[in-house]
């Protein structure tokens, strides 16, 4: 069958949380198309880490089975991480159900996860080759579910400060304008990766980024692009500065922010709304704002995170390794 769950943004759209039922216990988790582990806060964790969270209890699940000798250890691009043991259980996401899903029970989590009490773990939706379970790597929920889905697809419909949805096995055409533009994905890296070699700032000329590559990453809050794109963009924003203290580009909150169009696989120019590039105030007075578009390393992999998803409905096709995109309706 298909599955559909809400995707509810935390304050400031830092991340989006969706209900996942594990062994009959429903827990709000962060769906991450940039990683491939499903790990959860649980009763094995130290009490101090469990505090404030929903904690899966493997002992009260009648379907949980420990995977003897298996463990996981994952670290994320922002320096956060988790590690622990592994079992299997029935995982149900809005009706899409996998009976023998690897469920990773963290016994250690980094402080940023402990502090974020709205989030109780991640559901990795990148390719299974990135799964960190040892000695035997396990599959993602999507990989396990794909054969039972009417179509081998999941979609992300993320919104600014509003409830959106993740859907498995169905493309809801009422959620986007026009038709989806499809692009082949290079899964070699394990990410939903595509070429992104052109961009345009506002109504300006299309510019080239030779060899540009990007991934679609729902688990990253911002949009991390090549410095050439970031410089071209903020050169059009009065008062934009590279603010070392804050750790990125800031600008006056009243600034007029142009849209940014980025090439998706040579097939489609995805327009990211300027409003969504005004990410958050950095000062109490709300005078100075932090940019949703920030620079990565020159020539490095670009990470199109939630800032892009707020403008674009995205379909991930695991049947033919492609990504479909269209503006939200
Ligand atoms: C090379 C890329 C670097 C950025 C990676 N994204 C994340 O780490 C997103 N995330 C998940 C939990 N906390 C942050 C994806 C790989």
Among residues 35, 141, 16, 137, the alpha carbon closest in space to that of 78 is found at 35
Give the number of the atom of ligand 1 that is nearest the alpha carbon of residue 77: 8
Single out the catalytic residue among 30, 32, 37, 157. Answer: 32
Average pLDDT, the chain: 98
pLDDT computed for residue 86 by the predictor = 98
Helix intervals (H) in 56-205 = 111-115, 141-145
pLDDT computed for residue 193 by the predictor = 98
State the pLDDT confidence band at 208, using cuts at 50, 70 and 90: very high
- Residue 280 CA neighbour count, 13 Å, CB half: 14
Nearest CA to ligand 1 atom 11: 219
**CB under 8 Å, gap of 24 or more: what pairs does 281-284 form?**
281/253, 282/243, 282/246, 282/250
For the Cβ of 9 lying below 6 angstroms from any atom of ligand 1, the answer is: no
226 annotated active-site = no
* Percentage of residues in the chain having pLDDT higher than 70: 100
First to last CA, the chain: 25
Here the ipTM equals 0.91
For the Cβ of 300 lying below 6 angstroms from any atom of ligand 1, the answer is: no
Model confidence over 3-36: pLDDT tens digits? 999 999 999 999 999 999 999 999 999 999 999 9
Distances (CA, A) of 211 to 204, 227, 263, 289, 302: 21, 14, 12, 31, 11
Single out the catalytic residue among 116, 217, 276, 306. Answer: 217
Model confidence over 289-324: pLDDT tens digits? 999 999 999 999 999 999 999 999 999 999 999 999
For the Cβ of 87 lying below 6 angstroms from any atom of ligand 1, the answer is: no
98 touches 145 (CB < 8 A): yes
30 annotated active-site = no
Is pTM beyond 0.95? Reply is yes
How many Å lie between the centroid of ligand 1 and the Cα of residue 229? 20
Stretch (H or E) spanning 16: strand 16-22
Model confidence over 53-64: pLDDT tens digits? 999 999 999 999
Give the number of the atom of ligand 1 that is nearest the alpha carbon of residue 80: 13
How many Å lie between the centroid of ligand 1 and the Cα of residue 178? 30
Give the number of the atom of ligand 1 that is nearest the alpha carbon of residue 35: 15
For the Cβ of 303 lying below 6 angstroms from any atom of ligand 1, the answer is: yes
Among residues 158, 94, 164, 151, the alpha carbon closest in space to that of 314 is found at 158
For the Cβ of 80 lying below 6 angstroms from any atom of ligand 1, the answer is: yes
How many Å lie between the centroid of ligand 1 and the Cα of residue 203? 31
């Amino acid at each position: 069958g298909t599955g559909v769950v809400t995707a509810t943004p935390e304050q400031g759209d830092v991340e989006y949380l969706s209900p996942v039922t594990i062994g009959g216990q429903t827990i709000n988790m962060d769906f991450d198309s940039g990683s491939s582990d499903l790990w959860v806060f649980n009763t094995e964790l130290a009490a101090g880490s469990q505090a404030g969270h929903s904690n899966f209890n493997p002992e009260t699940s009648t379907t949980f089975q420990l995977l003897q000798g298996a463990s996981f250890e994952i670290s994320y691009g922002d320096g956060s991480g988790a590690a622990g043991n592994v079992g299997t259980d029935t995982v149900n996401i809005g009706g899409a159900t996998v009976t023998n899903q690897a469920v990773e029970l963290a016994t250690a989590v980094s402080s940023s996860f402990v502090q974020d009490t709205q989030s109780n773990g991640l559901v990795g939706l990148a390719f299974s080759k990135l799964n960190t379970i040892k000695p035997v790597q396990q599959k993602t929920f999507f990989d396990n579910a794909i054969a039972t889905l009417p179509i081998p697809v999941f979609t992300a419909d993320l919104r600014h400060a509003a409830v959106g949805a993740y859907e498995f096995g169905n493309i809801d055409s009422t959620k986007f304008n026009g038709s989806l533009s499809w692009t082949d994905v290079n899964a070699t890296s394990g990410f939903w990766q595509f070429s992104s070699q052109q961009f345009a700032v506002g109504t300006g000329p299309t510019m080239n980024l030779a060899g540009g590559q990007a991934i679609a990453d729902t688990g990253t809050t911002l949009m991390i692009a090549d410095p050439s794109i970031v410089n071209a963009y903020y050169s059009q924003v009065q008062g934009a500065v590279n603010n070392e203290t804050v750790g990125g580009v800031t600008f006056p909150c009243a600034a007029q922010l142009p849209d940014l169009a980025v090439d998706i696989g040579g097939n489609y120019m995805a327009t990211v709304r300027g409003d969504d590039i005004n990410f958050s105030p950095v000062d109490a007075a709300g005078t100075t704002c932090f940019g949703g578009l920030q620079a990565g390393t020159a020539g490095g992999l670009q990470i199109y995170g939630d800032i892009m998803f707020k403008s674009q409905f995205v379909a991930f096709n695991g049947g033919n390794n492609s990504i479909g995109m269209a503006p939200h309706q």
